Amino acid sequence: MLLELKVSNFAIIENVHLSFKEGLNVLSGETGAGKSVLLKSLSLLMGAKSTPDLIRTGSSQAVIEGSFDLSKRPDLTAKLETFGIDAEENLLIVRRLIAPGDKSRVYLNGSLSTLNTLREIVAPLIEVTGHSAPLIEMTGQHENRNLMSKPHHLDLLDQYCGTWDKRLQYEEMWTRRAELLTEIEDLKKNAQLKAQRLDYLVYQRDEIAKLDLSPGEDIELEQAVKRLKNASRLTSFVDSVEEALYTDDDSALSRLNVAIRKAAEMTSVDPELAGKLSNLEQAKSLIEDSLYDLRQYVQKIDADPASLDEKESRLSDLRKLQKKYGASIDGILHALIEMESEISQLQNSESRIEEMKTEVDALTAKMQKLAKDIHQRRLKGSVLLADSVNDELADLNMKGVTFIADVQPLTELSATGLSDVEFMTKNSPKDPPRPLSKAASGGELSRILLSLKRVVGSSSQPRTYLFDEVDTGVSGPTAEKVGKKLRSIAKGQQVICVTHLPQVAAFGNVHFFIQKSPTKDSVSMEVAELKTSERTREIARLISGEKITKTSLAHAEQLLSEAR
């Protein structure tokens, strides 16, 4: 709902501040008073393009600002969040700044934005599967994108027929099927490249697998090769150690044995000396153990050249793998796991395609059945909808105009089923039906929308309806019916209606008067909310013109009384 509108330095408007209410808001005034200018400012809040010539003469910029209550539109607060715009206290403040050159700006809740984002939030063009309800919907001499949109026609028909839940169920299946078809296409795409990739991966896998690697093997091989290459040096070293410690006449063990024997002889001189010999015995034992270990180590060294060649060859093969797949054995083994996983996916892609095709076929069968059911309901509902709308149009004095809800079958499934829906009109029985967008005038569009809203009922997403020219060619009892219908539509949401008819104005919950105010050098527009007595006089003016009489005042009071 539009709470406030502030306009400054825009065309003939110097400064206007309006507070709109829920229900029916009526705008009236003399011809040429500037009602179209006010509606133009509202269209800018819907994302219409601006031009510098709209700036009031003598001003550097124009500003249009609208404040919207979103408390009943959680869909829009959620959409604002997707654009990164905060909606504190469920408010949306749209600010258009119009300046010369390329300096015009759009602000949403204080954040710099774009016209496309503004249109998407405030007045989206309804998409086939989007179900985006506008915050403002305008009919009349200004463009009404939604009423002339075929997807919107389908939305209204489904709302009327009660097929909305079935359609949502269908659309969920459509989305799932589309995902499956895309995945199937991706798997089929570049089949030759995938076959080549599979061959390459199998070759790499086999190259690694045939070595039968084990973690840490590279380090063990390096040590083994180094040991084999230096086998003679290692043997010579052990031999020299054994000579020094054991085999030489003057070896360490020989000397140690002499020292131990002599020390044992001296214990007869000093018995305490025996306790000092334990370390010598331990040293002798350690030397003997070390000699044993060295002899065992030398025996294990295989100086066979064939063994060295075998280990060097394996180490060379391993180094080649490391250059291709990883700096370590662990890296190579990890690469092997990834290869086997990708090989499995590629080998199973054909079976996966068949599984998805089966699911697509099952979904398609269900969708065909559901779409046929929905189409039949739409066909029946379209006849009832057209009859009801035509009754409303006749009530609104649209003689000769016939409304048609045309439903044609589609040969293939679409995102919304098997129906092509378009609202059409014809002006006589002999005329062919023509789309609303090509046949209906601004006033006719307003009254068709008025009739549709009366027949279909209020949307679950309340909005602001701007009606212009809804009373064109209407008078007398028909005008009163227009007023009643507008009041009915405005329940639970908001209608802003420009009118010249007293019978329509009398049904307003709020009444604004627009007038031009000439100044010394220019002219400006003023808008005021009318109180009880002022409103009576304005309705009397609409009845009798500028010369207000007692009769017109009495008639005005009667209209207001009957409209309450």
Q: Residue 82 maps to which CATH number? A: 3.40.50.300
What is the SS3 assignment for 426? Answer: strand
pLDDT score, position 228: 63
Amino acid 533 reads S
Q: Is residue 175 part of a domain?
A: no
- Separation between Cα atoms, residue 242 and residue 231, nearest integer Å: 17
Residues 123, 221: one domain? no
Q: Is residue 432 part of a domain?
A: no
Q: Is residue 58 part of a domain?
A: yes
Asked which of 296, 327, 358 is the last residue of a domain, the reply is 327
Least confident of 216-220, 368-372, 490-494, 532-536: 216-220
**Beta pairing class for 464-467 and 494-498:** parallel
Helix axes 329-395, 305-325, angle to 10 degrees: 20
Q: Name the nearest CA neighbour of 55 among 94, 95, 17, 97.
A: 97
At 386, the pLDDT band (50, 70, 90 cuts) reads: very high
Amino acid 443 reads G
Counting Cα atoms < 13 Å in the Cβ hemisphere of 404 gives 20
Q: Is residue 65 part of a domain?
A: yes
Structural Rg of the chain based on CA atoms: 46
Q: Is residue 221 part of a domain?
A: yes
pLDDT tens, position by position, 494-522 = 999 988 899 999 999 999 999 888 776 77
pLDDT score, position 191: 66
Q: Is residue 8 part of a domain?
A: yes
Residues 226, 122: one domain? no
Q: Name the nearest CA neighbour of 54 among 19, 16, 104.
A: 104
pLDDT (mean) for 157-166: 91
Could you give the dihedral angle defined by the CA atoms of residues 480, 481, 482 and 488, in that order, rounded to the nearest 10 degrees?
110
The 10 Å Cβ neighbour count of residue 480 is 20
Which residues does 246 contact at the CB level (< 8 Å), separation at least 6? 252, 253, 287, 291
Q: Is residue 315 part of a domain?
A: yes
What is the SS3 assignment for 444? Answer: helix
pLDDT tens, position by position, 417-442 = 999 999 999 988 888 999 987 866 76
Domain range for 113 is: 1-22+32-127+509-527
What is the SS3 assignment for 253? Answer: helix
Residues 123, 1: one domain? yes
At which residue do the structure tokens 């280990």 appear? 311
Residues 113, 221: one domain? no
pLDDT tens, position by position, 288-338 = 788 777 777 776 666 556 666 666 677 777 777 777 877 788 888 888 888
Distance of CA 296 to the CA centre of its chain: 74
pLDDT score, position 176: 96
pLDDT score, position 489: 86
pLDDT tens, position by position, 80-102 = 988 889 888 899 999 999 998 87
Residues 121, 228: one domain? no
Q: Is residue 227 part of a domain?
A: yes
What's the total number of domains in the chain? 2
Asked which of 327, 360, 389 is the last residue of a domain, the reply is 327
